[in-house]
Amino acid sequence: MTRILVISDIHANLTALEAVLSAAGAVDATWCLGDLVGYGPDPNECVKCIRAIPNLTCLLGNHDAAALGQLDLDAFNHDAKASACWMQEVLSVESKEFLLSLPQRTRALESTLVHGSPRNPVWEYLLDIYTVEQNFACFEDQLCFAGHTHLPVAYLAAKDEREISWKMLREGDNLRLKHRAILNPGSVGQPRDHDPRASYAILDPEAKSWTNFRVTYDIASVQTRILQAGLPYAHAARLSGGW
């Protein structure tokens, strides 16, 4: 295993997903950290595409749980709730079965994989150092992979773990992982770091190397499908600005 594709937060954006899979090229395994659906216009197409990936490890995200009716939709804001209701209507039986089969937390190659955080795998956001510090106590492996915030960020512990630093990753940034870390590949289908390009990362588990990549895709075609489906305008508009 020398090349693992790590993706998260596809959000029913098939055009972005296909661009990422094509740009990443041949890999030994793919880890998908959840939120296959929600916001975007292509939920069934994205589930079908993801489940066909060989050597796949895939997790359940909060939007996947919402689309399955497992969450109280009042936990979402108005627009997210509208898209979750739409997802519940349009998801096929096959798509629901696949999402239902996904774990909330798992391990692969001696790493911990979650959607949100190791403490609260589906819901918690890792956005501040205090929360991140607490979460370092919630997994035992050297590396934990999480999505959910849609930000390509690395939280890096010092050798003695007394200090944790963080770094937002830009295209081509590469880290050599010497100590414990929580790593987020950013979002494929709805980036929120003001770079609208789809985000993904490649892990080389032997070299302990983590590299972030960005890829352009046809945003306008996705926006057209969002509006055609009657989904909220904001979900289309935000794709252009990456927020």
Instruction: Enumerate binding residues for Zn ion (CB under 5 A).
Output: 9, 35
Distance CA 146, CA 13 (A): 19
Q: What share of the chain is helix, strand, coil (3-state, %, to 5)?
A: 35, 20, 45
CA distances to 17, 23, 69, 222 from 7, rounded to whole Å, are 9, 12, 24, 19
Closest approach, Cβ 29 to Zn ion, in A, equals 22
For 197, the 3-state DSSP assignment is coil
58's tokens: 């895939």
Q: Which is nearer to Zn ion, 42 or 164 (CB)?
A: 42
Q: Which is nearer to Zn ion, 67 or 157 (CB)?
A: 67
Q: Which is nearer to Zn ion, 9 or 18 (CB)?
A: 9
Q: Which is nearer to Zn ion, 36 or 154 (CB)?
A: 36
Residue carrying the six token digits 């001696």: 110
Closest approach, Cβ 190 to Zn ion, in A, equals 7
For 90, the 3-state DSSP assignment is helix
Closest approach, Cβ 150 to Zn ion, in A, equals 6
Q: Which is nearer to Zn ion, 35 or 193 (CB)?
A: 35
Closest approach, Cβ 167 to Zn ion, in A, equals 21
Closest approach, Cβ 148 to Zn ion, in A, equals 6
Given its phi and psi angles, is residue 202 left (phi above 0), alpha (psi -120 to 50 degrees) or beta?
Answer: beta
Q: Which is nearer to Zn ion, 61 or 205 (CB)?
A: 61
92's tokens: 């096929």
Count Cα neighbours of 16 within 13 Å in the Cβ-side half-sphere.
Answer: 33
Closest approach, Cβ 204 to Zn ion, in A, equals 26
Distance CA 84, CA 88 (A): 6
222 and 23 in contact (C-beta within 8 Å)?
A: no
206 and 161 in contact (C-beta within 8 Å)?
A: no
Residue nearest to Zn ion (CB): 35
